[in-house]
Structures are given as structure tokens and as C-alpha cells.
Amino acid sequence: MEGKRERCSSQVELLRKIKEFTRAFVDDLSNGRSPVILIDRFRSYCTDFNSNCYCGSDLPCGKEVLTLSTESHVHRLDVMLRVLLIIQRLLQENKHSSKRDIYYMHPSVFLDQSAVDRALNEICVLMECSRHNLNVVSAGNGLVMGWIRFFEGDRIFDCISSPNTAYPVPVHVEEVKDIISVAHFILVVEKESVFQRLANDQFCNASRCIVLTGRGYPDVPTRRFLRLLVEHLHIPAFCLVDCDPYGFDILTTYRFGSMQMAYDTKYLRVPELRWLGAFPSDVGKFSVPKHCLLPLTAEDKRRIKAMLHRCYLQREVPEWRSELELMLQKGVKFEIEAFSVHTLSFLSETYLPSKIQGELKIMYAR
């Protein structure tokens, strides 16, 4: 049994596929056969620079076979079927649930939240759908402010009326409609502290932009919302993260997708996103003093070396790879807030305007 290559989005179609899947599973058991589940495997990157890979596409890079004859698969299939029945009920009753809600329905069986997360991802692959199609939603961590107004269903998000006030990123992104904006660009920032700094400095007023943050590693609604804005508004999108391997990983999650949800990368990534900073080369350009720099830890160096082998750095953004190599060579990292060593508003009044102007010149020169 395996998912068809047609993407499923309607509840009726999804319920039909769930019914077919469970019926085939039960039929195999009733006839004394061990069910065989074939799960397509996807990846957002590989480490082979020389081959024509399918990373980041909707083409699988292989299959995994799950059977009841393999002891380690028995629990995975048990969890998958239980989660599938919960999803079936959610769809039938037109209700929504969080991953954590699902975990607490059978905690003694699931044992750990990661087992539910894995089952949800595998169900998405088998049913050829996205997680929100299962009526499983995140609580939502993202924030947005700036020159934009939109609806999520019947709820209005009137950011334009107060451009420097934070609003939560909508959880049901598929219900977002009637987007109105006069923004010149979108700025994604890694952390809430930087988001608040820009709000305090009235950055959106001065730059007429939209600012978004996932407050660390972005959740699915934040990534979907960013993609929706870029596709709908057709304006430049920039990303500002700490100059460390974790900031860089967050940047690549926005642009190229995560390995955990590689099956949905095509619908979550934002290939138009440009890295604004902070760069290792910014230390000299913007006079970041030595006492604001931190030495890379052994774990930092290990992560950087591993990231340098990702295929998209070689093929799509070699200039990003050069900055990452420079970080490893210098052996130091620093946070965005380090620019405050000059003045509290240096980030919003000097660094960002300079960076954005430079990026726009490059974009319009092409």
C-alpha cells in the first residue's frame, strides 16, 4: 500500500483515501497476510554536489517498507493507525486539533510526542496532503506587523492602522483572504527581541514594510504565511538572523524547507528569500568590537561543517557558503543585538537601511 501521486486537499477525497487505506490493511490481516506499507521518502537537501538530485521537489528519493514482521515497525504502525483514526474523526466532525492534543489521547501507547509527529508526517506522505489538510494545526508562534491588512475567515488583521503593533500570524493560512498592502518589502527576523526593537524604533513607519518573526525556528503557519505574502504581493523578502550556525539553519528552513517536512517543501519554502545578515563579514564593515564576539563551540563547528555539505549551498547560493566558511575560519559568532554597541537604534537606522539599499541595487541591476 502506498500513497498515490495526486495531491489530496478536499475532506471528502481525504476521507475516501483513509477508508481505502484502512480497509486494505484490515483485508490483509483477515486473509492472513502481513500488510506491507510503502512510504515515499523525501529530502530537502543531500550532500552530493555532483549528481542531479531531486531535493526540495515533490519527487521521492526512495521508499521505506513497513511490515508487521519487523519488530521495530509494529509500534510505528500501531501509532500510525491510531493517529489515522483520530484524523478521520476530526475530518468527519469538521474539528481541529493540535499535535499535543493527539498525543494525550493515547499517551501510554504513543510514549513520546515525537512518535505522533512522525506518524503525522508519514500519514501526509501516504495520503498525499499537507498537515493542515488533516485538521491538525499548530498553536502558532509567529508575529507580524507593518503595512498590511487581511482576513482570516471572518477575523480582520488591520496591521495598517497601527504598523508597529504586533499581531499573531494566522494559524489557518488557507483561510487568509483579501490581502491589502502598500509595503515595499518583507523583512523576516529570527527573534522576538529584534522584532520588538524594530517596533520600538517605528521601523515599519520609516521603511514602509512588513516585519515577520517565527520567534526562533519557524512553525508551519509562519512559513506558510510568508510564502503566501511573497506569492501574493510580489515584493522583495529579506531575512535577518544571528551570525551563528543556528541562525543560518533558521534562514535555510525558511528558504529551502526542513528535512522533517521535506515531503511538503514545495509548498513551504520561499526561494525568493534573500539573506540580509548578519554576516561574518559584517564584523569589519560595521565595526563590531571584539568584546561582542563569542568563540564558536565544538558543537557550532560540527554543525557548520555539516551544513557546508548541503547541496543547495553549492548549487543555488554559493555566496552563502562563502560566508559560512568565513564564520568557521574566523572561529567567532555574534548576535544581531551586538550592533546596539554603537547606539540602541543602530540596527534600524543604519544597518538595515544600508543592507536593504544594497540588496535592492543588486536586484534591480539584474
d(CA 5, CA 59) in angstroms, rounded, equals 9
Write the Ramachandran bin of 285: left for phi over 0, alpha for psi from -120 to 50, otherwise beta.
Answer: alpha
Catalytic residue at 104? yes
The CB-side HSE value for 333 (13 A sphere, CA atoms) comes to 19
Which one, of 239, 209, 217, lies nearest residue 142 by Cα? 217
Q: Which three cell numbers stand for residue 317?
A: 547560493
What cell does 277 get? Answer: 545578515
The amino acid at 324: L
d(CA 287, CA 25): 64
Instruction: Identify the helix (H) or strand (E) that includes residue 144.
Output: strand 143-146
The three cell numbers locating residue 158: 488591520
H-state helical runs in 31-111: 71-93, 99-103, 107-110
Judged by phi (left if over 0) then psi (alpha if -120 to 50, else beta), residue 53 lies in beta
In angstroms, what CA-CA distances link 331 with 297, 304, 319?
9, 11, 18
Helix (H, G, I), strand (E, B) or coil at 223: helix
Residue 351, all three cell numbers: 544597518
Q: Which of 54, 103, 104, 364 is catalytic?
A: 104
Residue 246's CB: how many other CB atoms inside 10 A?
Answer: 15
* Residues acting as catalytic residues: 104
